[in-house]
Amino acid sequence: MISYYFNLFGVLMFAMSGALAALDKNMYKDLFGISFTGFATAVGGGTLRDIILGAHPIAWVADNNYLIAITAGIILMIIFRKQLHRIPKILLVFDSIGIAIYTIIGMEKALALDVAPLAAVVMGLFTAVMGGVIRDTLINEIPQIFRKEIYATACIAGALVYLLLKYSSLPEIWSAVISIVTIIAIRLAAVKFRWSLPKLDI
């Protein structure tokens, strides 16, 4: 039940992230464009995960609460866009929370379907980053995953932490919380201190 509400919160964060990214592109008058970008960002990763895993029906298709969370996120972003734009790097915060929650939710679903642990890490990564890839593509930006700053690596690190903690005696909720905080911390620290992976000299 807790993971379900985590999932809805992640959907809300990603919907806000997508809507804010569209608003940053001065799409103020295009309500459909803002809504579609928020929706695609929120459901993109989870939809791809469910298709790969053969999990049907796809989560947001079977549960109206996902669409309610997405709609709420988009409406909140439109109403409070001016106030939120005053907060430095607010898009980074929403996106970091979203990828952290989605990584763990994606892993949980994969593991529940008896996917191999390391493959579950990949499923967690796909769940986390594909919504952002769709968002950045829609607004004509280079997707975060292809930029030099640490992004997918933070998801992988948190996923591995979750994998280790899951097989410990720690309660599952704490395993999830610690892993989510790990991803958020790595992502925000990477941006603040400009961490990046070494380039290949090919």
Distance, CA of 162 to CA of 178 (rounded, Å): 8
Q: What pTM was estimated for this model as a whole?
A: 0.91
Tell me the per-residue pLDDT of 100-112, one tens digit each, with 9 for 90 and over. 999 999 999 999 9
Distance separating alpha carbons of residues 70 and 10, to the nearest angstrom:
10
Write out the two tokens for 104.
């763990």
What is the C-alpha to C-alpha distance for residues 174 and 21, in angstroms, rounded to an integer? Answer: 31
- pLDDT, tens only, 34-80: 999 999 999 999 999 999 999 989 989 999 999 999 999 999 998 99
Residues whose CB is less than 8 angstroms from the CB of residue 71 and which lie 6 or more positions away in sequence, other chains included: 15
Backbone angles phi, psi at 131, to 5 degrees: -60, -40
CA distances from 104 to 34, 124, 161 (A): 27, 6, 10
